[in-house]
Structure 1
Amino acid sequence: MESNLTLYRIFNSVAATGNISRSSKELFISQPAVSKAVQTLEDNLKMTLFIRSSRGVRLTEEGALLYEYTKSAFDTLSEGESTLLRMKELGIGHLRIGVSNTLCKYILLPYLKDFIKKYPHIKITIECQSTYKTLELLGQNKIDIGLIGRPANLKGMDFYEIQKIEDIFVSTQAYLDNLNQQLSKSHRRKPAISPEDTLDIISNSNVLLLDEKNITRLYVEDYFTRNNIKTNQLLEVSSMDLLIEFAKIGLGISCVIKEFVQDELTSKELIELPLNPPLEKRAVGFSYCKDAFLSQAVKHFIDFYKERSLR
């Protein structure tokens, strides 16, 4: 564009008012400056845009055509400014959150329920995938916030812990009784399960774990390696919900998150197997790139979860 936006803005004002004096007052610049700007634009375009007279100015055919475009452009800009102000006043915006299916169901949904009540105009997009994929999308600025288990290396990420989770092994009492009968053919096992029994049970059971692309799976396998635990039969499952359901039907021993099976443990539908040493609790929280641009919607959500965690 050979002529800058200021020249078109002055042209648009003169065309709308039909008078250089009124345009000067509207734009808060001198009449000579207005006249010079119009002349400069005409020189740049190499055509006459106005016919001057003692009563003011009127558009030429070329000027009228150009005015159709400048009026549309400046009306669009004005509408854009109004929309931005309305977004700011009403809290309108777009928030993109990355999270695993498990954390989405058990942790994120309660946050979103209260957040939406406070900011009903914010559009929310949920990307459900593994923590590793969430971290990748954060690094590519394809999502704004990630709800993740704290990784070993945050690599330029801000992480705000909201709770701890504990990984445990569970099964039905019927499955344990049946396994106990098989393992005690040579000697009778004690009714109560000790941590030492658990290691023996895991080594001789169907062990159900999340698939290899999950950060929880790597955490558990690291525990197995450090404690020299061998598994006889390993079954991979794609979600925490399936791990819980398969354990409840007696398919084997599932590694699940304790906070998500409290009802089943209380009713004794599932039995927790004691571990020594236990799996250390892990931190779960919201994360975002420190150098990323934070929209108003993202800032609202950050303030929201920090405020909620203090209650």
Structure 2
Amino acid sequence: MEQHLTQYRIFYAVARAGNISRAAKELFISQPAISKSISKLEESLGIALFIRNSRGVSLTAEGQVLFQHVEAAFEALDRGENELKQIQNLHIGQLKIGVSNTLCKYILLPYLKEFIAQYPHVRILIESQDTARTISMLEQQKLDIGLIAEPKNRRYLSFLPVMRIEDTFVCTRSYLENLRIREGADVDPFESGTILLLDRSNMTRTHIDAYFAEHGIEPKQILEATTMDLLIEFAKTGLGIGCVIREFVREELKDGSLIELPLEVPIRNRTIGFAYHPTAMTRTMNDFVQFCSE
């Protein structure tokens, strides 16, 4: 489009008003300025757009053709502005979150329930995956937010802590009693029992393996699971001693369906929070971060 948008806006106003004086009042522009703009537009297009008469102006046949296109263009612009106002007023947006199955169930969903109640027009997309994948996608700006354990190296990520978690070992009382009957009262549960762990692709497993190595613990029998929920169910069924997050088995510890094995040295706790790329903040991301901060 070679012509300046202002010239088309003036043309549009004059064509609708049928009078240069009325168009001037509508646009808060002087009549000579409007006449000059129309003349420049006609000159650049090489065609007359208006027929001047004593009552005002009317469109030529060619002017009518141009008006139909200009009218459609300005109506499209008006629709665009109205959509933007609606997005702003209703907080319409999209949020793509990366999170593991465990953290999604026990931490993210309670946050989302309250967030969606406050911002019902935000579309939530969830990438269910391991923490390493979430961090990688955050760094590539393929995710808006990631719910993860605080990484040692944040690189370019910002991190909003929301809770601290501690890993522990649990089993049924009957499992421990039967283990002692078979192996003796002084049995080492880690040496003689079946230890239930997440698979090696999980960051929690890496954390526990580091704890084992630091304290010289070498489990002889390991049963792996892909999710924390499975570990908890395995332990409740009596399959072995599960390494779980204490905060996620509070009810089981309270009602006695699971008991906690005492450790000489507690496992170092971890901080869980929302990670995001600060240079890629959208309004929806900012709303979510502020909501979680409060």
- Determine whether 1:279 maps to 2:267: yes
Give the aligned residue type for 2:160.
Answer: Y
Partner of 1:299: 286
Q: Distance in 1 between matches of 2:260 and 2:59?
A: 85
1:67-108 Cα offsets, whole Å, 9 max, x none, are 222222222222222232233333333333222221121112
Indicate the residue corresponding to 1:235 in structure 2.
223
Give the stretch that moved more between structures: 77-86 or 154-163.
77-86
| Separation of aligned partners in 2, 1:31 and 1:220 | 80
Q: In structure 2, do the counterparts of structure 1 residues 39 and 114 end up closer, same or farther at CA, with 3 Å as the change threshold?
A: same
Structure 1 unaligned spans of 5+: 191-196
TM-score (norm 2): 0.90
What CA distance in whole angstroms lies between the structure 2 residues aligned with 1:27 and 1:252? 80
Name the CA shift for 1:56/1:294 in 2 (closer, same or farther; >3 Å): same
Q: Match of 2:65? A: 65
C-alpha separation in 2, matches of 1:70 and 1:139: 44
Counterparts of 1:154 and 1:172, CA distance in 2:
38
How far apart are 1:211 and its partner, in Å?
2.5
| Pair 1:202 & 2:190 matched | yes
**Structure 1 counterpart of 2:199:** 211
- Residue 256 of structure 1 corresponds to 244
Which structure 2 residue ranges, 5 or more long, are not aligned? none
- Show CA shifts across 1:156-214 (max 9, x none): 22211111101111122232233333433xxxx24xxxxxx6xx322333322222332
Superposed CA RMSD:
2.1
Aligned to 1:36: 36
State the distance in 2 between where 1:277 and 1:126 align. Answer: 36
- In structure 2, relative to structure 1, the CA distance for the partners of 1:217 and 1:7 (3 Å cut) is farther
Q: CA, structure 1 residues 233+40, in 2 after alignment: closer, same or farther (shift >3 Å)? A: farther
Post-superposition offset of 1:115: 2.1
Taking the aligned partners of 2:16 and 2:8, their CA distance within structure 1 comes to 12
Aligned match of 2:132: 132
Q: 1:254 to 1:42 in 2, by over 3 A?
A: farther
2:175 is matched by which residue type in structure 1?
A: Y
| Residues 1:169 and 2:169 aligned together | yes
SS in 1 for 2:43: helix
- Give the TM-score of the pair, scaled to structure 1: 0.86
User: Aligned partners of 1:136 and 1:21: how far apart in 2?
Assistant: 62
CA distance in 2, matches of 1:255, 1:236: 10
Residues 1:236 and 1:59: Cα distance change in structure 2 (over 3 Å)? farther
Tell me the distance in 1 between the aligned counterparts of 2:36 and 2:223: 80
The 2-side partners of 1:16 and 1:213 are apart by 67
Amino acid at match of 2:171: S
After superposition, the Cα gap between the structure-2 partners of 1:133 and 1:73, relative to the gap in structure 1 and judged at 3 Å, is: farther
Identity %: 51
CA-CA distance at 1:215 after TM superposition: 1.6
Letter in 1 for 2:243: C
Q: CA deviation at 1:244?
A: 0.7
1:117 Cα offset (Å): 2.4
Q: Distance in 2 between matches of 1:23 and 1:302?
A: 47
Q: CA deviation at 1:17?
A: 1.8
> What amino acid does structure 2 have at the position aligned with 1:49?
L
AA aligned to 1:125 is L
